[in-house]
Amino acid sequence: MKSKKAFVLGAAMMAASFVSAFALAEQYPSTVSPQAVTPASGFDLKPGGTLQAQPLSEELAKKFKDALAAGTTPVLKPATSKAGITETVVSEPKKPSQGKLKAAAADFVPLFPTLDINTLYTISEVQTGQEFPYHFNLPHSARVLVQLIGQSAGADMSLSLFRDDGQGGDPVLLATSDNPGNADEYISGILPAGDYYWYMVANTANNAQFSFGVAADTNVDAYEPNDTAQTAFVLPDALNQVVGNLDNANDVDYFDFKSVRGQNVALALKEDREGTRNQWILDRFDGSNWVAVPAGTSVSLSGATGFTAKVRVRANTAVAQDPTAHYKLTLGSFPRLNSNSVTGDNIVRIPFSMSSTATQTARLLNWSTQWSDTTGVPLPGITPVLRVDKRFYDINYHWVDYKATTNSAGASSATATLGTCNGDYRAIFNDSSTGVSYKWDTTFNEGGWRIELDEFPGVGVGGSNVQYVSLGHICTQTIVH
């Protein structure tokens, strides 16, 4: 997905990255002039500056040529590509300690001159056999498109992308695009933050010209590349909630979840920011076709053990897209609330004849829950929510949410602090629950509470028919002598 999609899984997250870049070198021609990208190219790059030619040392040239000649790039795994574009995925390298990272960043000196991203450069007077490497830096993970375009008639250039680990090792080849003749060369994908090199070689050229650059979009989420059903992001055995986004109207995010025990599967989509839900359409695969899930509804899917639920999130082309908007996709084990408890603090209960509230308290509500999937396996790491409206004073609910997190047993325990109040109602009654009869003067408000689950709607305590459990919030309570 493209999208910036903050996601919490009940297991370790997978980090993946796309690929792309540009580089120059052997003898730099005397002029490298800026040139705006043509409308036909479809990439909005700003004009670049002028560079002076610099020779490529034999030692560095040999490093790059040896890597190209090896012809193997074990860090890569192919991804489905658009026509004419080489698209690859490279795993993010294991990170050293923060101290080492900071030291490496401070000491890093690129092998070649650094050029700006999102900028188009032009090189002229190119001859056969010349090599052109340049360095660029990505400060953040990004979806990139490296391009070599506008070759002169009769020219034939190749484009390769290398990564520098910043530790003094040899550059690592990520991808190469080498189309016949003067056809455009592209390398596309998602890259982690880091340092990269373009490496361009003139297979054939006679005083030729070409343009190159890299377009970088940092608006990506943690699940890319998952733009096809074949590259769907596989979610772990848990109740998962993914936060993602779409960077353009053509972006589609695919996800899979396997029901390893035959448990029911929960499916729902909501917005991260109120009022943006109509940005997206949620589809599920029914085995033959993609079927749209109506907005605002949640789904429970059942199947045999090993059943895989396949879903996708795509842009609603009927509305203008906002790439900063994020969706929340729930896909995983269907949740079941097995037990719950909501109790008040130490008060003298108002008789049912004076207030029919089921739960009564003065300042605190102690609450607990226990959740599992439909086979009874606990659901850790999910978010029960106690919703409290401590005073009904108009036709609307005014919920205050208190959240908790389940442990490895699928259980949560927490306390909600309600605070003080001014009572709308008053009750004077006799009570002998302590063994001695007293007359109590009590002021209170009436409200209600519900239990919901942040990750999935429609489960818990309270619903469409019985919307809440009644609550008596006791404001003052004194003995009348």
Q: Is residue 267 part of a domain?
A: yes
- Tell me how far apart the alpha carbons of residues 384 and 432 are, in angstroms, rounded to a whole number: 37
90 versus 320: which is more confidently predicted? 320
61: phi then psi, degrees, rounded to nearest 5? -60, -40
In a domain, 38, yes or no: yes
Per-residue pLDDT tens digits for 146-158: 999 999 999 999 9
Lowest-confidence region among 217-221, 298-302, 381-385, 434-438? 217-221
DSSP string, 171-223: -EEEEEE--STT--EEEEEEE-SEEEEEEEEEEE-EEEEEEEEEEEE----TT
**d(Cα 429, Cα 297) in Å, to the nearest integer?**
47
Same domain for 73 and 87?
yes
Give the per-residue pLDDT at 171. 85
Q: What is the pLDDT of residue 14?
A: 27
pLDDT of residue 218: 75
Residues 49 and 153 in one domain: yes
Q: How much is the mean pLDDT over the chain?
A: 80
The percent of residues in the chain predicted with pLDDT above 70, rounded, is 78
Q: Place 37 in a pLDDT band, splitting at 50, 70 and 90.
A: very low
- Let me know whether 53 and 168 are in one domain: yes
Q: What is the pLDDT of residues 44-57, one digit of tens each?
A: 676 654 444 455 66
Give the span between the Cα atoms of 199 and 427, in whole angstroms: 84
pLDDT for the residue 2:
37
Query: Quick one: tokens of 337?
Result: 């609330």
| CA dist., res. 259 & res. 237, Å (int) | 7
Please state whether beta strands 252-259 and 280-285 pair in parallel, antiparallel, or not at all (unpaired).
unpaired
The confidence score (pLDDT) of residue 8 equals 29
Residues 67 and 87 in one domain: yes
Out of 158, 189, 217, pick the residue that ends a domain. 217
Query: Does a structural domain hold residue 21?
Result: no
In a domain, 6, yes or no: no
Number of folded domains that form the chain: 3
The verdict on 189 and 266 lying in the same domain is no
**Between β-strands 32-34 and 119-127, what pairing exists: parallel, antiparallel or unpaired?**
antiparallel
> Same structural domain for residues 362 and 403?
yes
**Whether residue 163 is found in the same domain as residue 277:** no
State mean pLDDT over 282-298: 94
Residue 22: per-residue pLDDT: 23
In this structure, the answer to whether residues 471 and 426 fall within a common structural domain is: yes
- Asked whether residue 14 is assigned to any structural domain, the reply reads no
219 versus 23: the higher-pLDDT residue is: 219
Look at 42 and 340; give whichever has higher pLDDT. 340
Q: Strands (DSSP E) along 391-455, which ranges?
A: 400-403, 411-417, 425-431, 438-453
Domain endpoint, select from 186, 217, 248: 217
- pLDDT per residue over 75-95, tens digit each? 323 333 333 333 333 333 333
Question: Do the beta carbons of residue 406 and residue 382 sit within 8 Å?
Answer: yes
Confidence at 38, pLDDT banded by 50, 70, 90: very low
Q: Which of 3-7, 240-244, 447-451, 453-457 has the lowest mean pLDDT?
A: 3-7
408-461 pLDDT tens trace: 999 999 999 999 999 999 999 999 888 888 999 999 999 999 999 999 999 999
Full residue range of the structural domain in which residue 242 is found? 229-333
Q: What is the DSSP string of 261-327?
A: T---EEEEEEESSTT-GGGEEEEEE-SSSEEEEPTT--EEE--STTEEEEEEEEE-TTS---TT--E
With respect to residue 223, please indicate whether it lies within any of the assigned structural domains: no
Residues 6+ apart with CB under 8 A from 109: none
Domain end call among 187, 217, 247: 217
Do 197 and 49 share a structural domain?
A: yes
pLDDT at 172: 86
Is the pLDDT confidence value at 29 over 70?
no
Q: How many CB atoms lie within 10 A of CB 88?
A: 24
pLDDT grade, residue 225 (50/70/90)?
Answer: low
Rounded to an integer, what is the distance from CA 40 to the centroid of its chain? Answer: 32
Binned at pLDDT 50, 70 and 90, residue 285 comes out as very high
In this structure, the answer to whether residues 373 and 449 fall within a common structural domain is: yes
